């Protein structure tokens, strides 16, 4: 895998400092998307939430991460503020905008103070590092920025290298035991001939997922696969996150469609704590 050393012995295409900067940038773009929008508008890609609740969720995630990093937590920290958004049905736009800006700045500052590779608790075993939080919050904001743009009816665009890094992150989580282990009610994932290819049609980027062994593997590149998903880079990211690309865009799936849908369901295990993600 190409790139610079990342957390947990993995590789990442973006640095800790870049992830930290992206938290601020993505939050600024998010705030721009919703400026002047009706915060009571429903968010089609997050059923049950309105726009104000979505923003509360993003800001809550930033606050959760900031608490973990600032306190150098070594054990679980409650994520109640991330998903307890039911009461935020009628937000003051100015108050919420300022709250989002301050929260993102506090998170970025906490990460700066802690520095990369500092050991802290994370919800992902084996990835106990500030690098996890910088990367996760950058991409959490990136994807929810799409949700906000969709609800507000404004265009959405993202930088290719950031989107590619977000897809790398998804592939890494999809190789966790929770994503492929057997269990009651879990559709089988591993098996002979089970390979997937994700191919960006507008960038020199592709991912080959191998489910034929005793655990998932993946690499950059393409090849023969049981199912191939082709589409613009950003649409690939939206697809794995269960979002439909707007304006008639999207991806083309050829081959074993059931396999890709099972993989996407299992790979998204780490989103289960947030039923609206």
Stated as kind and residue range, the H or E segment containing 254 is strand 252-255
The model's pLDDT over 146-191, given as tens digits with 9 standing for 90+, comes to 999 999 999 999 999 999 999 999 999 999 888 888 877 788 899 9
My answer on whether 135 and 176 are in the same domain is: no
My answer on whether 13 and 112 are in the same domain is: yes
- pLDDT at residue number 91: 82
Asked if the structure places residue 163 within a domain, the reply is: no
Look up residue 240 and give its DSSP letter.
Answer: H
Q: Which single residue is written with the structure tokens 């005793």?
A: 214
* Pair type for strands 195-200 and 206-210: antiparallel
Alpha-carbon separation of residue 265 from 112, 123, 270 (angstroms): 35, 19, 10
Residue 188 belongs to domain spanning = 170-271
Q: Of 121, 156, 191, which closes a domain? A: 156
pTM: 0.91
Name the domain count of the chain: 2
Asked if the structure places residue 164 within a domain, the reply is: no
Residues 268 and 170: their CA atoms lie apart, in Å, by: 8
* Pair type for strands 195-200 and 227-231: parallel
Mean pLDDT check: name the lowest of 46-55, 120-129, 227-236. 120-129
3-state SS string for 192-230: CCCEEEEEECCCCCEEEEECCCCCCEEEECCCCCCEEEE
- pLDDT at residue number 2: 29
**24-61 exposure pattern, b = at least 16 Cβ within 10 A, e = fewer:** bbbbebbbebbeebebebebebbeebbbbbbbbbbbbb
CATH label of the domain that carries residue 238: 3.30.1050.10
- pLDDT at residue number 5: 32
């Amino acid at each position: 895998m190409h790139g610079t050393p990342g957390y947990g012995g993995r590789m990442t295409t973006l640095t800790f400092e870049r992830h930290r900067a992206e938290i601020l940038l993505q939050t600024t773009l998010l705030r721009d998307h919703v400026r002047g929008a009706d915060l009571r508008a429903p968010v089609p890609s997050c059923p049950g939430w309105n726009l104000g609740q979505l923003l509360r969720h993003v800001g809550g995630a930033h606050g959760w991460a900031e608490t973990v990093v600032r306190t150098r937590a070594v054990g679980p920290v409650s994520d109640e503020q991330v998903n307890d958004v039911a009461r935020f049905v009628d937000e003051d736009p100015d108050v919420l905008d300022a709250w989002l800006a301050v929260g993102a700045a506090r998170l970025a500052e906490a990460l700066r103070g802690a520095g990369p590779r500092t050991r802290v608790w994370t919800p992902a075993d084996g990835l106990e590092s500030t690098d996890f939080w910088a990367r996760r919050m950058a991409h959490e904001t990136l994807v929810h920025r799409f949700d906000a743009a969709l609800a507000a009816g404004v265009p959405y665009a993202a930088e290719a290298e950031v989107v590619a890094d977000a897809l790398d992150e998804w592939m890494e989580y999809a190789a966790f035991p929770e994503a492929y282990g057997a269990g009651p009610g879990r559709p089988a994932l591993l098996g002979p001939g089970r390979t997937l290819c994700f191919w960006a049609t507008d960038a020199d980027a592709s991912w080959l997922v191998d489910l034929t062994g005793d655990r998932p593997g993946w690499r950059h590149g393409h090849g023969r696969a049981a199912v191939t998903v082709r589409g613009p880079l950003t649409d690939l990211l939206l697809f794995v996150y269960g979002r439909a690309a707007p304006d008639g865009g999207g991806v083309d799936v050829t081959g074993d469609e059931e396999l890709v849908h099972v993989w996407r369901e299992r790979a998204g295990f780490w989103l289960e704590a947030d039923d609206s993600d």
